[in-house]
């Protein structure tokens, strides 16, 4: 379990870069495992916020409830944007792994970033509509629960976008060296993780609330 | 107040000074409380100034910066954690003494105002849990665990430094709150709606929220760091089932930190949203539900109890085994019991609020789950007793703590079984019986464990032993003082005295509160003994030196190194073949085997990340507390920029060449030959140079 | 700064060198292995995208267009969500039952256990409270 030989035995969660990237691959073993543990800790935060959200569904205090404010179209578009970005990030990881050239890697990453920003823009628009229709967080316990859960996911996406920009900066200075590779591997895990959280959000908050 | 000053200072005004009220409305009560509060504030300010002056006088700023604050060495970070823990212990014990004094004079009034008393029990609880216990155990794990598993450092040394910065920031906020008062009066649990804006608009609760949040973040990161280290960085041959038990408890504690801290982050985060952005999560109106907070808080609170107790169990396992001269009895059972406690601790949180109003069957389920935890804990107690059975027990200072723990902790556990019965809990909940119970668990359990560990490993950190005479005085005073201070509280609880009461009017309570007050005095004496012990030991450090590195005839790998331990821990990573790895080497007659060839070692460079995050954390917390938005924003930006900039850093390691290592190791080997090996009888005397008589020359039984 | 740059370039060229070396040395069946792995990786993301799309469209479609009692809706939505989460773990995060990723799998399963206990317990406790004391809070 603790052997430090590179290769198939030292695998970590997420896409393994494999032997052609030996240095990054072995550096990843601890880094990615640690990041993975951090993600699990974050899962607990979301899990509890989901449970709390469900317990607050009745706390509308006479204000608007889920079926008055949420709309399916917006949620569907956001879901598609995020799913597509997960796929494009996968393509980026593969072009890193199989040396398909820096241009291709950066191309896929830029597409991913744009999809992420599109998601954020659309989500902000949705929030704006909600607030203008009287669905602001200080209106009721239910809306407080909504605005402590969904924007937290959005905040994570924004953080991930910022991280990607920082990695672009690192690429400009250091080219694609070991740290950039390990950074991208971890960012990929965060990105896919956020998509998983979003699955629960659209199922529980949007679809669950609308039916 | 003009607009400009409120932009600059937020809501901070003259009334934040602890003596302001005393000057404005001089009544007897306000003068007494003002003098006490100003004295405390004065001690903080003078202490800080004196420390700065001393460092300047001795010209140690550079040492402080280069060798300590920016160091990423796990041993130094561990020591700094423990320094914070000891300082905060001092403050919180003094606060406890004030509370005991208040209740000893409390018939019909006492001398403290209710407001001041509320701040005292809130800071006492918050500090003892988050800024004494957590840093103490984090520090011990930090220092000991990598040495025991044969690693050179933690997996993420820079993150470790950041963890330290966050805890230091939280502790700094706690200290600042003494000078720029007031602190929260909501208790360490901070239940809304009392802590909501309507009931508590002042800065007190905000101090509490940010102090606790900083500490929580720190613990989450520490937990991740420890768990990954134990999973990925064990020495060759060190399988999980060969790890010393302390490492097992460290692993379980880290798992609990990783999964148990997030609920608190959620609870305090949502409370902050309520207070700052007018959310209604826990308010009494507009669909808020305060019971959600109680549920979230204890979903953290119960795992937290085991985060606190498990490392102490680990320390005791090492202490019992070493000072009985025997292999730990029932190692496998202890490992399984530790794991069982870790998992079960997630299934019992409701027993903290049996009386909230849920159905009896739910209470029954959680009550039974609570009692179940008694089983693995009982297994442990018997394993420790059987470790001592037929061993050559030496009653050294750590062993006095351990034996005291064994008896007192069992009594506390039995009172826990009483409290775990919902129908009884309805009678005695929120009374001093509960206060007696959890102090009975945490003082003999956690604090004795930490102090035993502090005495046990002190020489490993600094190269000299702690003075035994003052150590015995401290240990016995702790035991006696604890019993006198807390056993009366059981009786008071059964007599119906509620906790957190500033005054009472039933004279029946008085003899018990006076007895408890005397116990507090003995505990204060114990603290004085601990300080005297440190002072005397530093004075006599040459006589007490143990450079051989193995003063207790130890069994695990940390004793395989010189004291103090070199930065790289091990010149070559040890090859482990069995449990009690170092003892096995000694039995084979070949301890400290030197390798054929030394290799250069890569060591992470110092970094200011921990300091930057610590300073920013303090500033952001302070700014948010006093509504100085510019300060919070500016330092959030500083922290963010620092983190991004860190991503650009390359060449973050340096290499220690093989010759230097060889020279150091040769010098140590030479030193070892000079020392007279001693038998265990003399281990607490000045004859002990850290070289025990080899076991095959008759040192075993 | 100069040291930094040269160092970064060193690692870069080193990386390329090793790439070329490995490719040169391991021509033949290792090359085939790599090609197969590559194909497998690409197919994994393709499958992931396809399955996720299906599992997203079903609940949205059902919720928007199919009139059913809400219990049936919730079951379909919940099941699709659970399956899609597993799909993401399997195809995007490459977690499987194979030996190599056993530690991560254990970690995920432990996390699921803890979330189940904490979230399930929360719902149990609070809805019981609503039933007994605060009927207004039950949705």
Query: Domain map of chain A by residue range?
Result: 21-210
C-alpha span between B534 and A59 (Å, rounded):
57
Angle between helices B468-494 and B432-441 (to 10 degrees): 150
> Does residue B53 contact residue B35 with C-beta atoms inside 8 Å?
no
Q: Give B575→chain A minimum CA distance, Å.
A: 13
Q: Is B466 in the same domain as B350?
A: yes
Residues 41-60 of chain A whose Cβ lies under 8 A from any Cβ of chain B = 41-42, 44-45, 48-49, 52, 55-56, 58-60
Q: If you average pLDDT over residues B160-175, what whole number do you get?
A: 97
Is A33 close to C95, i.e. CB distance below 8 A? Answer: no
Neighbours of chain C (3+ CB pairs under 8 A): A, B
Query: Which active-site residues of B does the annotation give?
Result: 124, 153, 188, 218-219, 302, 304, 306, 317, 351-352, 377, 380, 499
Does residue B701 register a pLDDT over 60? Answer: no
Residue C134 belongs to a domain: yes
C123 at B interface, C-beta within 8 A? no
Test the A interface: residue of B228, B231, B234 with most A CBs within 10 Å: B228
Is B287 close to A61, i.e. CB distance below 8 A? Answer: yes
- Record the tokens describing residue B170, joined without a space: 């939280």
CB contacts of C85 in chain A (<8 Å) are 196, 199-200
For the purposes of burial, counting CB atoms within 10 Å of the CB of B624, is it exposed (0-12), middle (13-18) or buried (19 or more)? Answer: buried
Test the A interface: residue of B266, B290, B304 with most A CBs within 10 Å: B266
**End-to-end Cα, chain A, rounded Å:** 48
Instruction: Specify the pLDDT at position B596.
Output: 82
Instruction: Specify the pLDDT at position C8.
Output: 41
CB contacts of A63 in chain B (<8 Å) are 287
pLDDT tens digit sequence for B604-626: 999 999 999 999 999 999 999 99
Does residue B575 register a pLDDT over 50? Answer: yes
Domain CATH code at residue B312? 1.20.210.10
CB-nearest partner of B262 from A41, A52, A166: A41
DSSP secondary structure letters along B130-168: IIIIHHHHHHHHHHHHHHHTT-SS-S-HHHHHHHHHHHH
Q: Is B46 in the same domain as B86?
A: no
C49 at A interface, C-beta within 8 A? yes
Q: Give A174→chain C minimum CA distance, Å.
A: 6
Q: What's the structural domain count of chain B? A: 2
Query: How far is CA B329 from each of CA B248, B251, B696, C10, rounded to the nearest angstrom?
Result: 15, 20, 22, 54
Q: Give B87→chain A minimum CA distance, Å.
A: 30
Q: Is B380 in the same domain as B362?
A: yes
> Does residue A170 contact residue A179 with C-beta atoms inside 8 Å?
yes
C-alpha span between B241 and B328 (Å, rounded):
13
> Does residue B237 contact residue B579 with C-beta atoms inside 8 Å?
no
Identify the DSSP state of B654: E
Q: Give A137→chain B minimum CA distance, Å.
A: 6
Q: Is B199 in the same domain as B283?
A: yes
CB atoms within 10 A of CB C32: 11
Torsion (CA) A80, A85, A87, A90 in degrees, nearest 10: -170
Q: Is B222 in the same domain as B268?
A: yes
Q: Is B148 in the same domain as B231?
A: yes
Average pLDDT, chain B: 94
> Does residue B549 contact residue B689 with C-beta atoms inside 8 Å?
no
DSSP secondary structure letters along C96-115: -SSGGGHHHHHHHHHHHHHH
More confident residue, B587 or B62: B62
C-alpha span between C115 and C109 (Å, rounded):
10
Q: If you average pLDDT over residues B107-120, what whole number do you get?
A: 92
C-alpha span between B547 and A131 (Å, rounded):
69
C-alpha span between B196 and B397 (Å, rounded):
47
- The percent of residues in chain B predicted with pLDDT above 90, rounded, is 89
Instruction: Specify the pLDDT at position B5.
Output: 59
Instruction: Specify the pLDDT at position A10.
Output: 55
CB-nearest partner of C7 from B296, B359, B650: B650
Instruction: Specify the pLDDT at position B181.
Output: 86
**Residue B34 structural domain:** 1-59
Q: Is B50 in the same domain as B91?
A: no
C-alpha span between B182 and B204 (Å, rounded):
5
Angle between helices B204-232 and B114-126 (to 10 degrees): 10
Residues 32-51 of chain C whose Cβ lies under 8 A from any Cβ of chain B = none
Is B650 close to C128, i.e. CB distance below 8 A? Answer: no
Does residue B258 register a pLDDT over 90? Answer: yes
Is B259 close to C111, i.e. CB distance below 8 A? Answer: yes
Residues B324, B330, B336, CA angle at the centre, nearest 5°?
135
Average pLDDT, chain C: 80
Q: If you average pLDDT over residues B268-282, what whole number do you get?
A: 96
> ω into residue B481 within 30 of 0, thus cis?
no
Is A207 close to C60, i.e. CB distance below 8 A? Answer: yes
Does residue B658 register a pLDDT over 80? Answer: yes
pLDDT tens digit sequence for B383-427: 999 999 999 899 999 999 999 999 999 999 999 999 999 999 999
Residues 343-362 of chain B whose Cβ lies under 8 A from any Cβ of chain C = 346-347, 349-350, 356-359, 362
C-alpha span between B696 and B693 (Å, rounded):
8
C87 at A interface, C-beta within 8 A? no
Q: What are the backbone dihedrals phi and psi of residue B366, each rounded to the nearest 5 degrees, phi first? A: -75, -30
- Record the tokens describing residue A145, joined without a space: 């629960």
**Residue C103 structural domain:** 96-139
Q: Is B184 in the same domain as B262?
A: yes
Helices (H), ranges, B149-284: 157-179, 204-232, 245-277
> Does residue B537 contact residue B467 with C-beta atoms inside 8 Å?
yes
More confident residue, B249 or A15: B249
Coil, helix or strand at residue B656: strand
Residue C128 belongs to a domain: yes
Considering only alpha carbons, which residue of chain C is nearest residue A7? Answer: C100
Q: If you average pLDDT over residues B305-318, what whole number do you get?
A: 96
pLDDT tens over chain A, length 211 residues = 333 333 444 577 778 887 778 877 777 888 999 999 999 999 999 999 999 999 999 999 999 999 889 989 999 999 999 999 999 999 999 999 988 889 999 999 999 999 999 999 999 999 999 999 999 999 999 999 999 999 999 999 999 999 999 999 999 999 999 999 999 999 999 999 999 999 999 999 999 888 7
Query: How far is CA B118 from each of CA B24, B178, B179, B442, B452, rounded to the nearest angstrom?
Result: 22, 14, 17, 21, 32
**End-to-end Cα, chain C, rounded Å:** 62
- Record the tokens describing residue B371, joined without a space: 């009692």
Instruction: Specify the pLDDT at position B159.
Output: 96
Residue B625 belongs to a domain: no
C-alpha span between B317 and B556 (Å, rounded):
12
Q: Give C100→chain A minimum CA distance, Å.
A: 6
Residue B557 belongs to a domain: yes
C-alpha span between B554 and B323 (Å, rounded):
9
Instruction: Specify the pLDDT at position C99.
Output: 60
DSSP secondary structure letters along B427-496: HHTTBHHHHHHHHHHIIIIIIHHHHHHHHHHHHHHHSBPPPHHHHHHHHHHHHHHHHHHHHHHHHHHHTT
Identify the DSSP state of B652: -
Identify the DSSP state of B195: T
CB atoms within 10 A of CB B558: 26
Of the pLDDT bands very low, low, confident and very high (cuts 50, 70, 90), residue B698 is low
> Does residue B173 contact residue B211 with C-beta atoms inside 8 Å?
yes
More confident residue, B82 or C33: B82
Residue B631 belongs to a domain: no
> Does residue B560 contact residue B573 with C-beta atoms inside 8 Å?
no
The partner residues of B431 in beta bridges, in order of sequence, read B498
Instruction: Please give the class, per CATH, of domain A21-210.
Output: mainly alpha
Q: Is B170 in the same domain as B41?
A: no
C-alpha span between B113 and A156 (Å, rounded):
45
Q: Is B132 in the same domain as B54?
A: no
A10 at B interface, C-beta within 8 A? no
> Does residue C130 contact residue A62 with C-beta atoms inside 8 Å?
no
C-alpha span between B360 and A84 (Å, rounded):
49
CA-wise closest residue to B192 among B213, B207, B209, B173? B209
CB contacts of B346 in chain C (<8 Å) are 114, 117-118
Identify the DSSP state of B602: E
Q: Is B15 in the same domain as B67?
A: no
Instruction: Specify the pLDDT at position B360.
Output: 94
ipTM: 0.94
Instruction: Specify the pLDDT at position B429.
Output: 92
Q: Is B51 in the same domain as B172?
A: no
CA-wise closest residue to B680 among B527, B550, B490, B589? B550
Does residue C3 register a pLDDT over 50? Answer: no
> Does residue B127 contact residue B92 with C-beta atoms inside 8 Å?
yes
Q: Report strand pairing: B601-604 vs B653-656.
A: antiparallel
């Amino acid at each position: 379990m603790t052997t430090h030989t590179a290769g198939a035995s030292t695998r970590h969660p997420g896409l393994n870069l494999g032997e052609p990237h030996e240095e990054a691959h072995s550096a990843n073993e601890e880094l990615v495992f640690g990041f993975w543990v951090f993600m699990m800790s974050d899962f607990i935060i979301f899990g509890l916020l989901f449970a709390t959200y469900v317990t607050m569904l009745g706390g509308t205090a006479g204000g608007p409830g889920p079926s008055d404010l949420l709309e399916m179209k917006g949620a569907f578009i956001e879901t598609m944007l995020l799913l597509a970005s997960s796929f494009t990030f996968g393509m980026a990881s593969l072009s890193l792994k199989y040396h398909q050239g820096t241009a291709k890697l950066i191309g896929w990453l830029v597409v991913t970033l744009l999809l992420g920003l599109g998601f954020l823009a659309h989500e902000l628009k949705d929030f704006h509509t909600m607030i203008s229709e009287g669905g602001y967080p200080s209106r009721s316990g239910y809306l407080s629960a909504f605005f402590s859960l969904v924007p937290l996911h959005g905040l994570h996406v924004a953080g991930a976008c910022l991280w990607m920009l920082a990695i672009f900066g690192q690429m400009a200075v250091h080219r694609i060296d070991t740290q950039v590779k390990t950074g991208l591997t971890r960012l990929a895990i965060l990105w896919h993780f956020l998509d998983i959280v979003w699955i629960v959000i659209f199922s529980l908050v949007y679809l669950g609330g609308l039916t | 107040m003009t607009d400009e000053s409120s932009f600059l200072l937020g809501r901070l005004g003259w009334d934040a000074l602890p003596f302001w009220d005393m000057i404005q409305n001089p009544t007897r009560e306000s003068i007494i409380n003002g003098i006490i509060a100003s004295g405390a504030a004065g001690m903080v300010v003078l202490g800080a100034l004196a420390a700065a002056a001393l460092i300047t006088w001795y010209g140690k700023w550079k040492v402080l910066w280069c060798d300590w604050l920016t160091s990423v060495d796990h041993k130094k970070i561990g020591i700094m954690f423990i320094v914070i823990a000891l300082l905060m212990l001092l403050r919180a014990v003094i606060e406890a003494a004030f509370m005991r004094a208040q209740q000893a004079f409390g018939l019909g009034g006492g001398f403290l105002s209710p407001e001041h008393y509320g701040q005292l029990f809130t800071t006492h609880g918050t500090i003892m849990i988050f800024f004494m216990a957590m840093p103490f155990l984090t520090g011990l794990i930090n220092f000991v665990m990598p040495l025991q598993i044969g690693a050179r450092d933690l997996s993420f040394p820079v993150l470790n430094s950041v963890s330290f910065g966050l805890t230091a920031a939280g502790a700094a906020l706690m200290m600042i709150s003494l000078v720029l008062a007031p602190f929260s009066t909501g208790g360490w649990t901070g239940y809304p709606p009392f802590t909501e804006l309507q009931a508590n608009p002042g800065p007190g609760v905000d101090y509490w929220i940010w102090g606790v949040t900083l500490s929580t973040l720190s613990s989450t990161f520490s937990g991740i760091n420890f768990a990954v280290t134990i999973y990925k960085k064990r020495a060759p041959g060190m399988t999980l089932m060969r790890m010393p038990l302390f490492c097992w408890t460290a692993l379980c504690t880290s798992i609990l930190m990783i999964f148990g801290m997030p609920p608190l982050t959620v609870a305090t985060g949502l409370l902050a949203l309520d207070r700052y952005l007018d959310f209604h999560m826990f308010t009494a109106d507009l669909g808020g539900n305060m019971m959600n907070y109680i549920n979230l808080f204890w979903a953290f609170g119960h795992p937290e109890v085991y985060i606190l107790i498990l490392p102490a169990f680990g320390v005791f396992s090492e202490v019992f085994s070493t000072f009985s001269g025997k292999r730990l009895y029932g190692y496998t059972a202890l490992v399984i019991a530790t794991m069982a406690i870790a998992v079960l601790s997630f299934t019992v949180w409701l027993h903290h609020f049996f009386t909230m109003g849920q159905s009896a069957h739910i209470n029954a389920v959680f009550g039974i789950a609570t009692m179940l935890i008694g089983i693995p804990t009982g297994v442990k107690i018997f394993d420790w007793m059987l470790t001592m059975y037929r061993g050559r027990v030496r009653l050294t200072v750590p062993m006095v703590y351990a034996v005291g723990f064994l008896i007192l902790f069992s009594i506390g556990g039995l009172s826990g079984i009483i409290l775990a019965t919902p129908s009884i809990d309805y009678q005695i909940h929120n009374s001093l019986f509960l206060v007696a119970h959890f102090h009975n668990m945490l003082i003999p359990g956690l604090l004795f464990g930490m102090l035993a560990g502090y005495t046990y490993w002190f020489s490993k950190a600094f190269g000299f032993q702690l003075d035994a005479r003052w150590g015995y005085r401290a240990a016995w005073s702790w035991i006696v003082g604890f019993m006198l201070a807390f056993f009366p509280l059981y009786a008071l609880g059964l007599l119906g005295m509620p906790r957190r009461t500033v005054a009472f009017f039933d004279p029946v309570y008085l003899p018990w509160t006076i007895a408890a007050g005397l116990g507090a005095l003995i505990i204060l004496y114990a603290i004085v003994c601990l300080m005297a012990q440190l002072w005397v030991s530093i004075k006599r450090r040459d006589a007490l030196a143990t450079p051989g590195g193995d003063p207790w005839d130890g069994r695990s790998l940390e004793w395989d190194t010189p004291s103090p331990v070199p930065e790289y821990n091990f010149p070559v990573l040890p090859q482990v073949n069995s449990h009690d790895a170092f003892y096995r080497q000694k039995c084979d007659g070949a301890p400290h085997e030197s390798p054929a060839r030394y290799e250069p070692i890569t060591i992470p460079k110092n970094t200011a990340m921990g300091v930057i995050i610590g300073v920013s954390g303090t500033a952001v917390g302070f700014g948010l507390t006093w509504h100085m938005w510019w300060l919070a924003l500016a330092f959030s930006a500083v922290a963010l920029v620092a983190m991004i900039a860190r991503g650009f850093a390359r060449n973050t390691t340096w290499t220690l060449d093989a010759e230097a290592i060889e020279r150091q190791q040769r010098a140590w080997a030479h030193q070892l030959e000079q020392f007279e090996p001693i038998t265990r009888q003399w281990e607490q005397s000045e004859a002990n140079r850290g070289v025990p008589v080899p076991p095959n020359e008759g040192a075993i039984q | 700064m100069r040291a930094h740059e040269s160092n970064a370039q060193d690692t870069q060229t080193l990386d390329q060198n090793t790439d070329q070396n490995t490719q040169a040395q391991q021509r033949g069946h290792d090359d085939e292995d790599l090609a197969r792995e590559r194909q497998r990786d690409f197919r994994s993301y393709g499958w992931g995208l396809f399955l996720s799309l299906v599992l997203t469209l079903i609940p949205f479609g059902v919720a928007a267009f199919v009139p059913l009692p809400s219990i049936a809706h919730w079951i379909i939505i919940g099941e699709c969500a659970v399956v899609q989460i597993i799909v993401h773990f399997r195809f995007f995060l490459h977690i499987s039952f194979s030996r190599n990723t056993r530690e991560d799998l254990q970690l995920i399963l432990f996390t699921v256990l803890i979330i189940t206990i904490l979230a399930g317990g929360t719902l149990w406790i609070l809805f019981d409270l609503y039933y007994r004391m605060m009927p207004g809070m039950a949705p």
